[in-house]
Amino acid sequence: MSTVLINVDEIYMLLEDVKDPEIDTVSILDLGMVEKVTVSSQDVSVKMLPTFLGCPALPIIQKNVETAVKHHPAVKNVSVEFLRSPSWTSDRITEKGNAGLKVFGISPPPRQLKSDGSWHIDCPYCESTYVTMENIFGPTACRSILYCKSCKNPFEAMKPMIKMI
């Protein structure tokens, strides 16, 4: 039996198909949740970072990652682990991830906060800056609820999670 080598890039390609269970336009890679992938012979280890500690989607994501990696014909064992450190921060979301969030009607998190800790987000639909914060807390731990006074649409935004706060 010949041994098929597993390339780490192939695993990353498979992880591209694992989406956030509640935002199917963004992959877990683009959310910045994958910290490290290692391959040892036929065993693959995926180290991940939780976005929010109480997020109920974490076990679902874990299972979806296992299933996706097993699609590689040469993979025998998969271990998926959530790390305590480093902490996930919202600036880990890629440009592609930000674009995917907007497609879903969610504004990406601001890259920077003002010195007083406040931040500003534009409407994901019409790009207007004329928006109001309705609720810092939203339908999931990572989102806030806002309203656009220009196009009169309610929308959501990813909460900034940055080390300085």
Partner 1 sequence: MKNEALKNISIKELLLQLADDDFIHSYRGAEWLGLAPHIEEDVASASISQDTMGHAAIFYKLLEELGEGDADRLAHDRPAKERRNAIILEAANGPGYYMKDPDYDWAFAVVRNYFYTEAKAIKIQSLQSSSYEPLAEVAQKVQMELYYHLMHWKMWFVQLLGSHHADAVSRMKAAIDKTLPDFAGVFSLGQYGEEMVELGLIDGGIQKKWVEAVTPIFESVGLATTFKIGMAKGDGRNGVHTEDLEAALETLSEVYASDKAASW
Q: State residue 62 phi and psi, 5-degree precision.
A: -55, -45
Q: Which of 4, 13, 99, 165 binds partner 1 (CB under 8 A)?
A: 165
Restricted to residues 72-111, the positions that interact with partner 1 (CB under 8 A) are 84-85, 87-89
Q: Which of residues 114-143 bind partner 1 (CB under 8 A)?
A: 134-141
Nearer to partner 1, 18 or 88 (CB): 88
- Kindly state the smallest distance separating residue 138's Cβ from partner 1, in Å: 7
| Min separation Cβ 43 and partner 1, Å | 22
Pull the structure tokens for residue 1.
């039996």
Asked if 62 and 34 count as a contact pair (C-beta separation under 8 A), the reply is: no
Is the Cβ of residue 102 or residue 159 nearer to partner 1 in the bound state? 159
Residue (of 22, 25, 7, 8) closest to 101 by Cα position: 25
Which x/- pattern over 14-53 shows residues binding partner 1 (rule: CB under 8 A)?
------------------------------------x-xx
Q: Which residues contact 65 (CB under 8 A, 6 or more apart)?
A: 15, 18, 28, 46, 48, 78, 80
- For strands 34-40 and 19-20, give the pairing: unpaired
